[in-house]
Amino acid sequence: MCVGSAACGGGGTPQDGGLEGGDVLVPDAGRDAGPREIKTWILTTEDARAPLEAFSEFLPESLAAGVMAVQDPIRSLREFTRGERRFAVVAESGRCAECFRIEEGDGGWIVKGGLPLGVQYGVSALLEAMGVRFFHPHYTYVPQTLQPPDRSIINVDHQPEIDMRGLQFHILHPIETYFDFWEPSPEHLQDAYRTLQWVVANRGNFVTWPGIRNLRTASGEQREALVAHQRAIIERAHLHGLRVGFGVQIFGLSNLQNAYDLVTSSRDNLAEAITQNMEPLRQLPFDAINFSFGEFFAANPEQFIQGLELAHDAARAIFPRALISGTIHVGDFPTTRIDYMGNRILYYFLIDYARRPIRPWVHTVMYYGLFGSAGGAYNHANFNEHREYLFRRLAEGKEVGYKPESAYWVAFDINVPTYLPLYIYKRWEDLHGIRERARMAMHGGLEDHVLFTSGWEWGYWQIDWAVLRMNWKTPSGFDEVVAEMLAPLPDAREATDIIRSLALLQNEYLIEKNLAAYLAGQDATFEIGYAMGFWSQPRRPSMRDIQMMSEMGRNAFERDVVNELRNLANATRNLLERVERLPSLGRERVWAELRDGIAIDLARAEFASALWGAALQASRGADPSSLEAAMERALDSARNIVRRRHAALFDPRPEEILAHRISTALIYRYGYLREADTLCFWVRERAQYLNTFRGASERVPGCVL
């Protein structure tokens, strides 16, 4: 990276440009390649140099970007003649830290912005206006020829609608960011840096991740390596201007994964345990601490409130300026709904009774949101209680945040696998609904929006990209953000309409017609949970339930489930045919992923329709062989699609996320796409059908652990 050295100007310190000299060759930072000629010059003052260097380090090699520190960027822009494009970046102290403005200059383009994020956002927006898209941390689209910037962003003051906009990398799942953010290695650290740059490029200003238990329990060299890795990531984030959060679970009673918990036993002295177990975080300069309280099981209310207050105080002693928040989870079970102070409430709403300034983050799960059905997820018909709580906090001028999801993983979406742009639609519906409610009630809007993310392959990067951009400015329609995302690609208008149509189709069938459970999978733990009276994903009947149904029940199931799954398959097939007609399909990897995503959706709908249709036929004593053949064809098709997609993943180390067995600090000792790779949920359902209705003795895989 070229930074105010003799190499930058061909001789001497580049004051006022330092612009004599021949071609300039500098290292391509962050890569092993040799020197290359700078094509994109970013001329800026010394105070903006470091964050712009961090930002430009992972720009694609084809842009060949270099940063030069000069005294007067606008004057240097007029005098500088090297490279193919030149940006003068001016840090303005009077502009908000995240605001920016782009103007046309003599010899190039001028970015004026706040420090440190505004100038980076401005450079990102300028590149995007020329056709670049920061799609995925490992894939930035650069057209063969950059176009003159779209004039719609020129001479406009840009500023965010929501104050805190970011992602929770849910590294309790064995996803890309688990390996990069938690497993120390030089390669993982570089990819964590790359992800931070990607968040900045897409207008985020906050990242957080849940802690894992081994940070507290490890000792010696292992702990030193973990701490050093975490510290390096935090310092890099701070260089960009990102705030960094850390998730802590207070009560180990509800810790169903290897989360970092504070109270490990009901016999612990609360104050001593919390103080002692917060102490290992002292070496790490986090900006936010998020408390969570597990799932399905509740602590005693008084103990909960006392523990929360003690945890707040312990965190505040270590991080005096940190934002402290608490997640209001979901789960409407007898164990989680309690009586307190004359109110019948969900356990998680006890946050309101703590005598400490803890910002509640309202949570929803899967693609369900604050508006419409929740499909029975966590035994909720809807999340209206969470929605009204959020709106009440906004109306009262109290702090509140929202934390929805862009994937649930486990057995629900990305590892089935299915491609679900429905998530984009539902996240837009939430943001648009919150903004409109605030506008009509004439009170302030949302302060924090933190998206719980569980992986990026199979098109799930699209959801995080879209939500980060909608946090910056919520569009009037969700398809606008899809159009913005895809605009530089050939055939973008047709692809945008296909994604829009698929999202609305999925909303109709998976939510409104309540078919989500039939496209999702179910692992072996679900049966244990059902027996205990708990479940997370929407429920569906078992094969035994179908066998025991009355004829009236079978008729209703055929009408409402089997036939509708067939209708969903037919409509999805029409969309797949449209993708396959895109002239640029063979030339653009985003379209290849789109084709595979819709193809797997079609195969899943065909498989489910045939599976449950065959169960109905067999339960009636009719011959299900034709439906069994259709089920096998869909499974074979899915295997081919998965084989093709998993040979073309975005992640540079696919062996980690595809691993059938790998060492991790989690309860999951495999990569998050293992079940997708083996189609475990499909094979499990097929075996359950054959054992129930065909007298087979197939092994039923657990698809978990």
The full set of domain ranges for the chain reads: 6-158, 164-489, 507-693
pLDDT exceeds cutoff 70 at 336: yes
What is the SS3 assignment for 505-526? HHHHHHHHCCCHHHHCCCCHHH
Phi, psi of 482 (to 5 degrees): -65, -45
Q: Scanning the structure block, which residue is given the tokens 């520190």?
A: 69
Average pLDDT on 67-88 reads 95
pLDDT exceeds cutoff 60 at 73: yes
Q: List, in sequence order, the alpha helices (H) in 533-624.
A: 543-548, 551-557, 563-580, 589-619
Q: Residue 90: beta bridge partners?
A: 112
Query: Of all residues in the chain, what percent are helix, strand and coil, respectively (each to 5)?
Result: 50, 15, 35
pLDDT exceeds cutoff 70 at 9: no
Helix (H) or strand (E) holding 479: helix 478-486
User: Which pLDDT belongs to residue 650?
Assistant: 97
- CA distances to 361, 385, 391, 535, 597 from 441, in Å: 21, 19, 10, 36, 40
The string of pLDDT tens digits covering residues 569-601 is 999 999 999 999 999 999 999 999 999 999 999
Compute how many other C-beta atoms are within 10 angstroms of the C-beta atom of residue 668: 21
Q: Please, are residues 71 and 16 in contact by the beta-carbon 8 Å criterion?
A: yes
Q: Please, are residues 451 and 402 in contact by the beta-carbon 8 Å criterion?
A: no
Average the pLDDT over each of 333-337, 425-429, 668-672 and give the range with the smallest value. Answer: 333-337
Q: List, in sequence order, the alpha helices (H) in 319-416.
A: 384-395
Closest by CA position to 525, among listed 275, 702, 644: 702
Q: Please, are residues 279 and 223 in contact by the beta-carbon 8 Å criterion?
A: no
Q: Please, are residues 190 and 180 in contact by the beta-carbon 8 Å criterion?
A: no
CATH of 6-158, one of 3.40.50, 3.90.120, 3.90.1690, 3.30.379: 3.30.379
Phi, psi of 686 (to 5 degrees): -60, -45
Q: Residue 259: beta bridge partners?
A: 212
The string of pLDDT tens digits covering residues 339-358 is 999 889 998 999 999 999 99
β pairing state of 139-141 and 133-136: antiparallel
User: Which pLDDT belongs to residue 380?
Assistant: 97
329: confidence class by pLDDT, cuts 50, 70, 90: very high
Average pLDDT on 675-681 reads 98
Compute how many other C-beta atoms are within 10 angstroms of the C-beta atom of residue 470: 26
The tokens describing 57, both together, are: 């380090």
pLDDT exceeds cutoff 50 at 11: no
Average pLDDT on 532-556 reads 95
Closest by CA position to 195, among listed 147, 157, 233: 233
Phi, psi of 492 (to 5 degrees): -65, -40
Handedness of CA 664, 667, 673, 678 (dihedral sign): positive
Please report the DSSP string for 598-610 in residue order: HHHHHHHHHHHHH
Average pLDDT on 2-26 reads 34
The residue type found at 268 is: D
User: Which pLDDT belongs to residue 27?
Assistant: 33
295: confidence class by pLDDT, cuts 50, 70, 90: low
Compute how many other C-beta atoms are within 10 angstroms of the C-beta atom of residue 356: 16
The tokens describing 653, both together, are: 């180390």
Closest by CA position to 100, among listed 156, 161, 149, 52: 156
The residue type found at 655 is: E
Q: Please, are residues 310 and 263 in contact by the beta-carbon 8 Å criterion?
A: no
Name the burial class of residue 290, with classes exposed (0-12), middle (13-18) and buried (19+) by CB atoms within 10 angstroms of its CB: buried
- Cα gap 290→211, rounded to integer Å: 10
Fill in the DSSP letter of residue 279.
Answer: G
Q: Residue 100: beta bridge partners?
A: 113, 158
- Cα gap 443→393, rounded to integer Å: 10
User: Which pLDDT belongs to residue 300?
Assistant: 83
Give the fold, CATH level 3, of 164-489: TIM Barrel (3.20.20)
Q: Please, are residues 179 and 663 in contact by the beta-carbon 8 Å criterion?
A: no
Fill in the DSSP letter of residue 488.
Answer: T
- Cα gap 449→378, rounded to integer Å: 22
The string of pLDDT tens digits covering residues 466-520 is 999 999 999 999 999 999 999 999 999 999 999 999 999 999 999 999 999 999 9
The string of pLDDT tens digits covering residues 390-428 is 999 999 999 999 999 999 999 999 999 999 999 999 999
DSSP E strands, 436-501 = 448-453
- CA distances to 258, 291, 297, 360 from 312, in Å: 21, 9, 21, 13
User: pTM value?
Assistant: 0.94
The CA-to-CA distance between both ends of the chain, in Å, stands at 45
Helix or strand or coil: residue 164? strand
The tokens describing 422, both together, are: 């429905």
Helix or strand or coil: residue 51? helix
Average pLDDT on 240-255 reads 90
